[in-house]
Structure 1
Amino acid sequence: MAENTDVVVIGGGYAGVMAANRLTQRDDVTVTLINPRPVFVHRIRLHQVVGGSHDVVVDYREVLAKGVRLVVDTVTRIDAAGHSVELAADGTVGYDYLIYAVGSGSADPGVPGAAEFAYPIAALEEARRLRSVLDDAPATAAVTVVGAGALGIEAAAELAEAGRTVTLVCGEVLGPYLHPRVRRSIAKQLGKLGVTVLEGPDTKVTAVTRDAVRLSGGRELPSRVTVWTAGFGVPDLAVRSGLSTDALGRLLTDETLTSVDDARIVAAGDSAAPSELPLRMSCQAAGPLGAHAADTVLSRIAGEEPASIQVGFFGLCVSLGRRAATVQLASKDDTANRFSIRGRLAVKIKESSYKGLLKHLADEARKPGSHTWPFKDDKRRLLLHAKRDEAPVTRTARHLTDS
């Protein structure tokens, strides 16, 4: 009789659910998914929670394989030596392999007053809190959105379309990822919605008060409600557990997504930093990385050598309210180009991405091992070689044995 292998997945987002589902293709693998919420959060729709057009909550029964055991709790520490994780409410859970998919959230603003008076929206509870604040604020209240990445743009557009007076403070440029040509197009569409866009070096936020936002150029903006979307951070679980991380706190791994400290620990999604060259934090990367993390574990169980990641990108979908969107196209190495899709087709693509992400998870739950990703970054290997030539490795992977 084959020995059973216990795999614990920490984090029930896009990467964690994909990994957990994929692991069920072996009958001799027991999969436990640990997540602090009893429901799946369709995170790329959080700006719609702010706008009041969607609640983003999905029952795990719709996306998680029946064979996966769901534990609703928070992991407080990973005991790598003891092959177990400590839970906030209910003891410990042992593992033979661990997939670290804790995701990302709002970064520490690091700006005076921001923690007290600004509202982040990178998590469900944060978005709901802001929705409540907006419901209590007058319709004419000035709203300032700080941070002009995709989340900031989408939140600003959603609020403006709902009739709010919105100023989008970029800090530098609107949509740093965007090609200049596409950036100009999105700025024009935001203008049509009534969003005031402030760009340039004088637009960095230096302080937030209860009713204003101060900028580096000396300007002070009246702001009854300040929305903070500038930057993402990751949970400090790996750091607290004594595992090697990059400066942001992402778990350091090799190209198979295996921790440089322990061959039993594999990372996926926003919290992974393979070869210290992490992919862009995105749902686009989360699914393929989750699938690859599962494949790495399954390869080790089978006594085979895990493969290196091959994850490419197609671009970035940005919604601009409920009736407009732009799809920024990119090379597979995630370099934005001058081409984009707009109009009704872009809206259809954006809407299909919402549905498609859930379908990918549900399909993998129904038929584990079936998920494939057509985009492969052929330039990553060259980038790795260049990085190694420029900065010789000064540390060695301290893989533990599987015994």
Structure 2
Amino acid sequence: MTENIDVVVIGGGYAGVMAANRLMQRDDVTVTLVNPRPTFVHRIRLHQLATGSDGAVVAYEDVLHQGVRLVTDTVTRIDTAGRRTTLAGGTTIGYDYLVYAVGSGSADPRVPGAAEFAHPIATLEEAERLRSVLDAEPGEPAVTVVGGGTLGIEVAGELAEAGRAVTLVCGEVLGPYLHPRVRRSVAKRLTGLGVTVLEGPDTKVTAVTRDAVRLGGGRELPSRVTVWTTGFGVPDLAARSGLSTDALGRLLTDETLTSVDDVRIVAAGDSAAPSDLPLRMSCQSAGPLGAHAADTVLNRIAGRLPADISVGFFGLCVSVGRRAATVQLASKDDHAKRFAIGGRLALKVKESSYAGLLKHLSDEARKPGSHTWPFKDGKRRQLVEAKRGEAAATAERAA
């Protein structure tokens, strides 16, 4: 009789759900998914939930294989020696293999007053709190959005389209990922919606108060509601459990996504740092990394060598309000090109991405092992080899 193999997946986001579904290819594998919430958070819709234009919660029955056991709790520690996870509720769950997919959240802003008076938006609870704050403000109070990345652009666009007076404080440049040509187009659209866009070194936020935002250039902006969209952090579970992490706290792995400390632990999504060269935190990489993590576990169970990752990107989709979007095209190794898609086609691509991400998960739940990702990064191996060469040279000089 074949011995049953227990796999615990920590984290029920895009990467964790993809991994859990894909692991169901084998009848002798029991998969337990541990997640703090009983529902799936469609994270790329959180800005819409916060602004009241849409929802971001999906039932797990719609995206998770029916054979996966869902445990609503938080893992507080991983006992690598005993192969057990300790939950906040006091119970433990043993594993033969563990998929570490804890995702990311808001980073500590480290700006005086930001933790007390600014509203982050990286998690469901944060987005719901911000929505309550916005709903409670009478009239059209001044809203300041801090952070000129994709999330900041999308939040600012949605709020302005809803009639709010919005200032977007970028700190440096608007949309740092965007090609300059594409950046100008996005800035024009934001301005057309009535958003005041502040760029440059003097726009770095130095303090946040209850009613204002102070900038490095000495300027003070009135702000009844301050939205904080800059920076992402990861849970410190790996570090607290004695596992090696990068400077941000992501689990250090090899190119198969296997922990450098423990062959039984595999990482996926925003919390993975393969070869200390992590991919961009995004839903684009989360699904493929989740699938690859599952494949690594399945290969080890079958006694086969797991493959190295090869996850490429197609670009970046950013909405600017509900009636416009831009698709920034990129090389597969994630460098922005000067080309972009705009107009109705871009809006269609952006809108289809919302449903498409859920469809990837539900298709994998229906037919485990079916998910494929057409974008491959052929240059990553060169980067990894170069990094290894630098490390070897540094070690030789130190000796």
Q: Name the TM-score class by shorter chain.
A: over 0.9
Give the structure 2 partner of residue 285 of structure 1. Answer: 285
2:55 matched to 1:72? no
Give the structure 2 partner of residue 100 of structure 1. Answer: 100
Of all paired residues, the percent bearing the same amino acid is 82
Q: Deviations over 1:201-241 (max 9, x none)?
A: 00000000000000001000000000000110000101111
Specify the SS of the correspondent of 2:392: coil
The one-letter code matched in structure 2 to 1:121 is I
The one-letter code matched in structure 1 to 2:241 is S
- Output the CA distance in 1 between the equivalents of 2:284 and 2:220: 37
Specify the SS of the correspondent of 1:260: coil
The one-letter code matched in structure 2 to 1:379 is K
- Output the CA distance in 2 between the equivalents of 1:149 and 1:7: 36
Q: Across the two proteins, how many residue pairs are aligned to each other?
A: 395
Q: CA deviation at 1:107?
A: 0.3
Give the structure 1 partner of residue 153 of structure 2. Answer: 153
- Output the CA distance in 2 between the equivalents of 1:68 and 1:100: 16
Q: CA deviation at 1:379?
A: 0.6
Give the structure 2 partner of residue 361 of structure 1. Answer: 361
The one-letter code matched in structure 1 to 2:391 is A
Give the structure 1 partner of residue 337 of structure 2. Answer: 337
Q: CA deviation at 1:384?
A: 1.1
- Output the CA distance in 2 between the equivalents of 1:41 and 1:394: 43
- Output the CA distance in 2 between the equivalents of 1:315 and 1:138: 39
Give the structure 2 partner of residue 235 of structure 1. Answer: 235
- Output the CA distance in 2 between the equivalents of 1:6 and 1:205: 48
Q: CA deviation at 1:392?
A: 2.1
The one-letter code matched in structure 2 to 1:323 is R
Q: Deviations over 1:264-284 (max 9, x none)?
A: 000000000000000000000
- Where does the alignment leave 5 or more consecutive residues of structure 2 unmatched? none
The one-letter code matched in structure 2 to 1:96 is D
- Output the CA distance in 2 between the equivalents of 1:41 and 1:204: 31
- Output the CA distance in 1 between the equivalents of 2:139 and 2:78: 47
Kept in 2: contact 1:50–1:159 (CA 8 A): no
Kept in 2: contact 1:288–1:311 (CA 8 A): yes
Give the structure 1 partner of residue 274 of structure 2. Answer: 274
Q: CA deviation at 1:140?
A: 1.9
- Output the CA distance in 2 between the equivalents of 1:302 and 1:90: 33
Q: Deviations over 1:355-376 (max 9, x none)?
A: 0000000000000000000000
* Aligned pairs for 1:7-156 within 5 A: 7-156=7-156
TM-score by length of 2: 0.98
2:300 matched to 1:295? no
- Output the CA distance in 1 between the equivalents of 2:11 and 2:17: 8
- Output the CA distance in 1 between the equivalents of 2:79 and 2:250: 17
Give the structure 2 partner of residue 222 of structure 1. Answer: 222
* Aligned pairs for 1:388-399 within 5 A: 388-392=388-392
Q: CA deviation at 1:246?
A: 0.2
Specify the SS of the correspondent of 1:109: coil
- Output the CA distance in 2 between the equivalents of 1:377 and 1:305: 20
The one-letter code matched in structure 1 to 2:230 is A
The one-letter code matched in structure 2 to 1:17 is V
2:262 matched to 1:262? yes
TM-score by length of 1: 0.97
- Output the CA distance in 1 between the equivalents of 2:135 and 2:203: 28
Q: CA deviation at 1:389?
A: 2.1
Kept in 2: contact 1:139–1:163 (CA 8 A): no
- Where does the alignment leave 5 or more consecutive residues of structure 1 unmatched? 396-403
- Output the CA distance in 2 between the equivalents of 1:267 and 1:387: 20
